[in-house]
Amino acid sequence: MAIRPIQIWVRTAGAIRDDRKTIVALLSAADGARVRSGQRVRAFSPRSVARMNQGTVAHVSRQGQEIVATVVLAGEAVDASRYYVLEIVTENGDFLSVPNEAILESGGRPVVYVREASGSYAPRDITVGLRGELFTQVLDGVTRGEQVVTIGSFFIDAEHRLKGF
């Protein structure tokens, strides 16, 4: 458990301009509230997901009821597609968090396995807050510095359940 930034990726689509470097996209009100100039963007054509273009948000504006983001790519887009998928990386602050892969659902509740002083692992119900792409904020149930299982938590959970029967 550590304090980490929670990132949420805003996903949208946009049209590339004739300069092959500028993409304009419409955002929902909720997404528009997260997006700011200077944020990192990954852009790719739906036809060529493997060709990732890097860029930044150059400008965000309101035009009537719509929120418009203008993205400038680091280099010229090589794919001939007119439309691109954008993933805008937004940071929401630093929070006590756990990697998403550590969280299991047990009876509809989020649970993590915490390493005890004896070296064994015990399930712990947690209360989650903001859910990001890689990490989830933890409001209650674990404390900073405790070790939680990430890789293999499913197997520890299975063993724990078998021993309980």
Q: Domain limits of the chain?
A: 7-91, 93-164
Distance CA 10, CA 2 (A): 24
User: For the structural domain made of 7-91, what CATH number should be given?
Assistant: 2.40.30.170
Domain 93-164 in CATH 2.40.420.20? The answer is yes
Comparing C-alpha atoms, which of 138, 113, 114 is closest to residue 126? 138
* pLDDT tens track, the chain, 165 positions: 899 999 999 999 999 999 999 999 999 998 999 999 999 999 999 988 788 999 999 999 998 888 999 999 999 998 889 999 999 999 989 999 999 999 998 888 999 989 899 988 889 999 999 999 999 999 999 999 999 988 766 667 666 666 764
Residue 69: count of CB within 10 angstroms of its CB? 26
3 state SS of 122: strand
Two structure tokens written together for 17 = 């301009």
Enumerate helices (H) and strands (E) in the chain, giving the number of each: 2, 11
Q: Is 20 exposed, middle or buried (0-12, 13-18, 19+ CB in 10 A)?
A: middle
